[in-house]
Amino acid sequence: MQEISTVPYAPPKHVAIIMDGNGRWAKARGLPRTAGHRKGVEAVRRTVEAARELGVPYLTMFGFSSENWRRPEGEVFDLMQLLRFYLRSEIAELHKNGVRLRVIGDRTKLSGDIVTMIEKAEELTRNNKELNLIIALSYGARQEIVEATRQMVRDALEGRLSPDEISEESFSARLLTRDVPDPDLLVRTSGEQRISNFLLWQSAYTELVFVDTLWPDFTKRDLEDAIREFNQRDRRYGAVGTR
């Protein structure tokens, strides 16, 4: 049975999370960065379950950015190994709990076996409706916007799109999140206050909440607190406020 939310508000339709602080968590304990990333995987598991229990329909998590490829080769290797572990160990449980998994980002940089596991996981969970889980891997928002622009130009040159048809809606329809609502709430952990090339177009009117908790320590309570803060905001979308 699904746990009843302890948050006295309706949950946001879409929560996005920048998972930050694995390295600092490990450093504070005299451990290698890999240890922080492993604990971060546990926090992913907790947060997915918490979002499902709280009734959040869409959850997007920034797992690996296009800039992260610049990290030391050994760290990137370890992160890819952890990704393989997650895809092997978690998909059956996600499917059992009605979670649909989708991955957005540049798959051309990922190893073939990882792409195959992603495709199989997406196909297995395609019809699940309890929670839409979107993982951003090898993802960069600027790259996404550039690619959407290229697609619009190609469509125009080939006669499928006229200049008069170019709009925010037609542009959004060419993004990786074309069938996902824009985030209502974006949470970043570890005290950093920036969005780091994550969902730039989609976050035009997103409420931002920055928390000091390092990602490996993130819990359901932290998510609940962020949702409480979100519900106290006056979302005006450029109009006059109601408070």
Q: Which residues are annotated as a binding site for substrate?
A: 21-25, 33, 37, 65-67, 69, 71, 188, 194-196
Question: How many CA atoms, within 13 angstroms, populate the side-chain half-sphere of residue 40?
Answer: 27
To the query of whether residue 222 is one of the catalytic residues in this protein, the response is no
To the query of whether residue 217 is one of the catalytic residues in this protein, the response is no
**The dihedral sign for the CA sequence 183, 132, 176, 84:** positive
Q: Choosing from 68, 97, 128, 231, which is the catalytic residue?
A: 68
The DSSP result for the chain, as a single string, is -PPPP-SSSPPPSEEEEE---HHHHHHHTT--HHHHHHHHHHHHHHHHHHHHHHT-SEEEEEEEEGGGGGS-HHHHHHHHHHHHHHHHHHHHHHHHTTEEEEEES-GGGS-HHHHHHHHHHHHHTTT--SEEEEEEEEE-HHHHHHHHHHHHHHHHHTTS--GGG--HHHHHTTSTTTTSPPPSEEEE-TT----TTSSTTTTTTPEEEE--S-GGG--HHHHHHHHHHHHTS---TTS----
Binding residues: 20-25, 33, 37, 65-67, 69, 71, 188, 194-196, 207
| C-alpha–C-alpha distance, residues 199 and 208, integer Å | 12
**The dihedral sign for the CA sequence 175, 181, 183, 184:** positive
The catalytic residues are: 20, 68
